[in-house]
Amino acid sequence: MEQKHNNDLRIRSIVISEGENRAPNRAMLRAVGFTDEDFNKPMIGIASTWSEVTPCNIHIDKLALQAKEGAKDGGGKPLVFNTITVSDGISMGHEGMRYSLPSREVIADSIETVVGAERLDGLVAIGGCDKNMPGCMIAIGRLNIPSVFVYGGTISPGKSKEGKDIDIVSVFEAVGQYNAGDIDREQLHDIECRACPGAGSCGGMYTANSMASAIEAMGMSLPGSASNPAETALKRDDCYKAGYVVADLLRKRIYPRDIMTKRAFENAITIVMALGGSTNAFLHLLAIAHSVDVELTLDDFERIRKRVPYIADLKPSGRYVMEDLYKVGGVSAVMKALLEAGLLHGDCLTITGNTLAENLSAQSPLKEGQDIIRPLNNPILATGPLFVLKGNLAPEGSIAKMSGLKVKKFTGPARVFNTEEDATQAVLNNEINPGDVIVIRYAGPKGGPGMAEMLSITAIIIGKGLGGKVGLITDGRFSGGTYGLVVGHISPEAQVGGPIALLKDGDLITIDSETQELSVAVSDEELSNRLKEWKEPPLRYSKGILYKYARLVSSASKGAVTD
C-alpha cells in the first residue's frame, strides 16, 4: 500500500524509476546515492543559487541542505543542483550591469533545463540577489510542478562610526558626497567597510525584499518567510519546511498555476504598492505572469495603485530596513492589516494548501507603538507611490517611483546621453545644472542590452545635493535602492525607434505625476520628421549571451521576456 501511494507521487520521475529498459538511467542515480527504496519516492529538486560572488547568496548552500532534509523527511528523494547568480551591487555602474537582467533568463532557463531533463517531480528554489527570485519563479511557472520558493533573507544593516544604520546605497551616495567635497577619502573608506556586515540581500525595500514580499503575497512562499533575516534559525526553518511542503503539495496535487492566478498577482502588486517597493517589481511580475499565461498589464498596476495606500517608512526613501519590519511583525502582519481592510483577495490558494486568509488568521498584528508601518487611515500617501506615466515620450508606458518627493511636476531642458557612463561623468564634472532633465537612452532591453540599473548615477546625484533639482529619464531601469525624480522603463525604447531616440539637447521635457504624463514639447510633425532621419544603430554585441538576449527580448512594458 505504501509503495502504491509513493508511486502516485512520481508524476514525472516514474519514467526513470520503473521498467527494465530504464536500468541505465537508474544506474547513474545509484552512483549519487539512490537505493531501491528511493526509486519508490518522488524526486524533489533543490535549486540552489549559492555563490561566493555576492553576500546575497553566500549562505544559500547551507539553506539548500536544510531544504534537502525537509524534502527527505517529507517522503521525497531530494537532489540539490545549482544555478548562477550575479550581484547587481557589484555589477552596478559599468559594463557588467548589462548582464544583470539577462541573468534572470539564464536562471529560469537553467532550472527548467535541469528539472525537465531529470524528470523531477517537485521543486524547492532558493534565491537571494534580485534576479534570482523572478528567475526561479519564471521557471516554476513554466514547469508547473509542485513547487515552493524560499527567499534567502535580508542582510542586517551595517553601522556607521556614529552608530547610524547604513547599507549598500549609503556607499553609492557617499561617492557623490566625496565628489562634492562633503566627506574625505577616509570617511568614504570607513562607510565602504561597514555597510555590508554579512550574508543576505540588500536591506531596504529594494528589489530583493520587494520581490520576496510579492511572492509571499502571491502564495508561493511560506507565511512569514519574506521577512525572516538571512542569518537566523527562522530562515533555516523556512528552508526545511519548504522541502517538507513540496511532498505535501504532490499528495494534494496542488500546482503553481492553481496558486498563481490573476487575483494572486493582484495581491502581489498590492503589497508592493503598500510597502513602496522597487520599480523592478513591474518588470518581474509581468514576466512571471507571462510564464503562467496570466494576462497582466501596466494598466493592472495602475488600477491597483489608485486604491492601495502607501504606508511603509522603509528605505530608500524612508528610514527603516527589512530587519526592522521583521522585528515588529513582518510582511505577514502588513498583509493581515491589508486583508482586514479589504485590500487583498483572502480566498486565494497558497502553498500551505490553505487560503491566504486562513494563513493570516493566526498572524499577530503589527506591534503596538511601532512607527515603521503607518495606519491605513493615516498613510504616507493615499495611493501607491509607483506610477505608470504615458505621453508622447512613452506611448507604451514608463515607470516612476514618487515616494519621498515633494516635486509633483518638473519641466526642464533635456541633456541627452547615449550611455550611462557619459551621463555619470557629466554629473561628476559639474556639467549638469539644477532644472536639467538628464536623458540616458539606448539602455533598454535591446539597446543596452540588458536594461542596466542606474543606482550609481542616481545615488551620485543625491550625494551631490541635486536630488529633486534635476530629472532623469531612461529606457533603462533603476535599482530598488534608487529614489528621486527619475523615470525608467520608457517604452518603446530608443533601439527600436521609440520617441526617446529622437530627443535633442534643449528639448523641454515634462515629468508630471499628477497627470501621469511624460512628454516633450515637440510637435508630432517634428517628431515624425526626426524619425525619418533616424537610423537604427547596430546591436552592441555580435556574439554571446548579450547578442542572443538582444535579438529575443521583448519590450519592458511586457516584462522584457525572451520567449
List residues with catalytic annotation. 479
Strands 508-512 and 409-417, by their bridges, are antiparallel
Residue indicated by cell numbers 518638473: 410
Q: Which three cell numbers stand for residue 227?
A: 521577512
Query: How many CB atoms neighbour CB 418 within 10 A?
Result: 16
Helix (H, G, I), strand (E, B) or coil at 517: strand
Torsion over CA: 364, 271, 553, 99 (sign): negative
Grid cell at residue 384: 501607491
Pairing of strands 437-440, 471-474: parallel
- Concatenated DSSP letters for 326-382? HHTTHHHHHHHHHHHTT-S-TT-B-TTSSBHHHHHTTPPPPPTT--SB--TTS-SBS
Cell of 112: 527548467
320 three-state secondary structure:
strand
- With vertex at residue 43, the alpha carbon angle to CA 42 and CA 48, rounded to the nearest 5 degrees, is 140
One-letter amino acid for residue 272 of the chain: V
SS3 166: strand
CA 460 to chain centre: 23
Q: Strand 147-151's sheet: what is its strand order?
A: 77-82, 43-48, 122-127, 147-151
Give percent helix, percent strand, percent coil of the chain, each to the nearest 5.
Answer: 45, 15, 40
Nearest to 312 by CA among 370, 249, 396, 267: 370
As a whole number of Å, the end-to-end CA separation of the chain is 43
Bridge partner list, 397: 491
294 vs 285: CA distance, rounded Å: 10
Looking up cell 518588470 gives 283
Whether the Cβ atoms of residue 108 and residue 139 lie closer than 8 Å to each other: yes
